[in-house]
C-alpha cells in the first residue's frame, strides 16, 4: 500500500488555517476529477467523496482512498436503485442518494430515485465549496432534523458565498450542486465536462491540464502545507484532532444509532447550532471555527 505522507485533504485545510487559494483549489479539484473519471470508467461509483477521503502523497498530489462504500459493476447509463439503502456522509450526499435515507424506510416503496455517477459530482461540488470557503455549504444552516441529510432540507441557491470567492468559482459550484442529476455538471461527459468549465481555464486548456497532472510536471501548491516527515517519509507529528463526520451505511447501522451518532457530532465538532442560516457572518475565520471544534471535541461526551 502506498504511503501518503501528506495526510488527508481535510488536515491540509486545517493546517492552512484559512480557505485554500483558488490556485490550490483548482489543482486539487482537477486531480480529484481525473481520479473520479478513472473510477467511473472502471464501473465504480464512489459514493463517499469528501476531504477526509482524499489523501496527499509526498509530492503534494491528491489521491482517492477509502473505497469501502463503492458500488462496482456499473456503466455510464446504468442507475443503482439500492433497495432503499443509503450510505455516505450527510454533508456530502446528493439529494437522489439522500432520498434513500434509512430514517425514512418507506422511501423504496414511494419510489425513491435511482442514482448513478452524477451523485459523485454533487459531492465533488460540496467539497469544492469547502475548499474555497473553509466550511461545507450547509454548515451555516440550522438543521431541522439531525437524521435527515442537509441536501434534502436546504436548497443550495440559498447558501451565500464569502466575498473573496471569484465569479468563476461560484459558477462552478452552482453548476455542480444542481438538484436534478440530469442538469448537473459532469453528468453528461464526466471530468471532461467539469474541467472544461471557465474556473479551470475553459475547453482549450483541458488536454494540457490533464497531461500536466498525469505527468506530474506541475509543482503542487499544497507542498508548503504538508507535515514534516522523517527519513522514512513518515510524518514526525500526528495530525491535530479535528472534526469527525459520521459516515453511514444502512446495512450496518439502524436509524436510531445513526441519529445518536450525528447528534453527538452536533454537540461537539459540528457546532451547527451556533450558526444562523440567514447570517452572512456564519462564514467566520476558519481558524476560529477549528479552534472551537478542538475545544468542544475535548469536552464532549464520547
In whole angstroms, give the CA distance from residue 100 to residue 79: 14
In whole angstroms, give the CA distance from residue 223 to residue 217: 14
Q: For residue 256, what is its C-alpha cell?
A: 436510531
Read off the pTM. 0.75
The catalytically annotated residue of 8, 48, 57, 269 is 48
Q: Per-residue pLDDT tens, the chain, 302 aa: give them.
A: 788 888 899 999 888 888 999 999 999 999 999 999 999 999 999 999 999 999 999 899 999 998 888 888 888 877 776 545 677 787 888 888 877 764 455 444 455 678 899 999 999 999 999 999 988 887 656 556 666 666 666 677 767 888 999 999 999 999 999 989 999 999 999 999 999 999 999 888 888 888 899 899 999 999 988 877 654 555 556 555 444 454 444 443 444 444 444 443 333 332 222 222 223 333 333 344 444 544 554 444 44
147 is catalytic: no
The pLDDT of residue 173: 95
The pLDDT of residue 146: 62
The pLDDT of residue 226: 85
The pLDDT of residue 93: 86
> Which residue ranges form the domains of the chain, and what is each CATH number?
9-71+80-137+151-242 (1.10.510.10)
Spell out the SS3 assignment of 228-269. Answer: CECCCCCECCCCCCCCCCCEEECCCCCHHHHHHHHHHHHHHH
Q: For residue 5, what is its C-alpha cell?
A: 505522507
What DSSP assignment string belongs to 88-131? EEGGG--HHHHTT-TTSGGGTTTTPPPB-THHHHHHHHHHHHHH
Whether residue 5 contacts residue 57, with contact meaning beta carbons closer than 8 Å, is answered with: yes
From the list 258, 274, 302, 222, the residue with the least C-alpha distance to 101 is 258
In whole angstroms, give the CA distance from residue 159 to residue 16: 24
Amino acid at each position: 500500500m502506498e504511503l501518503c505522507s501528506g495526510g488527508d485533504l481535510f488536515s491540509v485545510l486545517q493546517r492552512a488555517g484559512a480557505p485554500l487559494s483558488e490556485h490550490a483549489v483548482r489543482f486539487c479539484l482537477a486531480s480529484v476529477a481525473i481520479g473520479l473519471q478513472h473510477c467511473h470508467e472502471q464501473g465504480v461509483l464512489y459514493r463517499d467523496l469528501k476531504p477526509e477521503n482524499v489523501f496527499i502523497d509526498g509530492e503534494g498530489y491528491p489521491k482517492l482512498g477509502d473505497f469501502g462504500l463503492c458500488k462496482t459493476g456499473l456503466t455510464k447509463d446504468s442507475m443503482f436503485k439500492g433497495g432503499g439503502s443509503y450510505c455516505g456522509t450527510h454533508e456530502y450526499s446528493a439529494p437522489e442518494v439522500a432520498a434513500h435515507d434509512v430514517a425514512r424506510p418507506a422511501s423504496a416503496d414511494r419510489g425513491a430515485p435511482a442514482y448513478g455517477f452524477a451523485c459523485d459530482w454533487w459531492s465533488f461540488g460540496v467539497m469544492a465549496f469547502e475548499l474555497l470557503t473553509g466550511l461545507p455549504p450547509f454548515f451555516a444552516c440550522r438543521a431541522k432534523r439531525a437524521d435527515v441529510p442537509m441536501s434534502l432540507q436546504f436548497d443550495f441557491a440559498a447558501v451565500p458565498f464569502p466575498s473573496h470567492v471569484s465569479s468563476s468559482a461560484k459558477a462552478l459550484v452552482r453548476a455542480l450542486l444542481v438538484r436534478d442529476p440530469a442538469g448537473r455538471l459532469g453528468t453528461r461527459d464526466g471530468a471532461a465536462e467539469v474541467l472544461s468549465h471557465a474556473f479551470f481555464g475553459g475547453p482549450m486548456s483541458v488536454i494540457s491540464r490533464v497531461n500536466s497532472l498525469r505527468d506530474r510536471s506541475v509543482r503542487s501548491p499544497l507542498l508548503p502545507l504538508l507535515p514534516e516527515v522523517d527519513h522514512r517519509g513518515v510524518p514526525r507529528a500526528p495530525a491535530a484532532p479535528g472534526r469527525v463526520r459520521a459516515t453511514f451505511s444502512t446495512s450496518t447501522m439502524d436509524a436510531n444509532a445513526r441519529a445518536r451518532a450525528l447528534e453527538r457530532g452536533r454537540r461537539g465538532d459540528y457546532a451547527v447550532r451556533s450558526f444562523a442560516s440567514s447570517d452572512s457572518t456564519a462564514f467566520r475565520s476558519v481558524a476560529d471555527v477549528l479552534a472551537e471544534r478542538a475545544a468542544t471535541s475535548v469536552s464532549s461526551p464520547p
